[in-house]
Amino acid sequence: MRIDVLTLFPGMFLPFLDESILGRARRRGLLEVQVHDLRHWAEEDRHRSVDDRPYGGGPGMVLMPGPVTRAVEAVQGACPRPGRLILLTPQGRRLDQALLAGLAREERLVLVAGHYEGFDERVRLALAPEEVSVGDYVLTGGELPALVLIDGTARLLPGVLGDGTSAACESFGEGLLEYPQYTRPAEFRGMRVPEVLLSGDHGAIARWRSEQSLRRTRERRPDLLAGSGPQGQGAQGVQGTEE
């Protein structure tokens, strides 16, 4: 998969993208991420502006439509097929596992991370992007949300998690939270690992895990069981898959 990111702060991306599972996926050619500096498409004025004060007054700065639109058009035009265009904003559709699963099936994504008070409304009118939010809170910009989206998408790409972990865990998930996990030592400060996990009885272990998943989901996220997550879709594969 190829992901293009447009941002005023390219330096925020590379440290994260170089490490761990994403770094490995990029080195193995499973994921290509190109980060572009929106300033490159700045207005031709003396200051190479990308933002200005809002018409009508009010706090903060608004990203101008020219640089953002030109940047998206140039980046889209650089590949034979345009990517699925996504603006990260708090006004977008809330990101969830179902949306990530859909994104992971795309060949190419183009993400635009805003900053300041947001985008001039004509960016929306000119480009008709999808809009995605990572939650009902406001961050200083769309850079972390873009990284969240990249991370959540990349781990669903074939081969990224390795040794079939992905498929196995996602099909287990079925909208439930993950069961408790344990590793060595078998006893820590008087707390023992549940005997069933040491039993070697794979059937019993699977039953225990699925009971625990259900119990945990009931206690912590009953909305998932009702099949009525915050956006009425329930959850899919909420189970974590740690490195």
Q: Which residues bind ligand ADE (CB under 6 A)?
A: 88-90, 133-135, 137-139, 141-142, 145
What's the min distance (Å) between Cβ of 141 and ligand ADE? 6
Q: How many CB atoms lie within 10 A of CB 17?
A: 21
What's the min distance (Å) between Cβ of 39 and ligand ADE? 19
C-beta of 10 vs 173, nearer to ligand ADE: 10
C-beta of 123 vs 161, nearer to ligand ADE: 123
Q: Is 43 left (phi over 0), alpha (psi -120 to 50) or beta?
A: beta
C-beta of 125 vs 138, nearer to ligand ADE: 138
What's the min distance (Å) between Cβ of 202 and ligand ADE? 41
What's the min distance (Å) between Cβ of 26 and ligand ADE? 23
Which has the closest alpha carbon to 127: 83, 163, 180? Answer: 83
User: What gap in Å lies between CA 51 and CA 43, rounded to an integer?
Assistant: 9
User: What gap in Å lies between CA 162 and CA 24, rounded to an integer?
Assistant: 11
C-beta of 152 vs 173, nearer to ligand ADE: 152
User: What gap in Å lies between CA 133 and CA 128, rounded to an integer?
Assistant: 16
- Determine contact, residues 3/32, Cβ cutoff 8 Å: yes
Which residue has the closest beta carbon to ligand ADE? 145
C-beta of 33 vs 88, nearer to ligand ADE: 88
What's the min distance (Å) between Cβ of 54 and ligand ADE? 16
User: What gap in Å lies between CA 28 and CA 198, rounded to an integer?
Assistant: 36
- Determine contact, residues 152/189, Cβ cutoff 8 Å: no
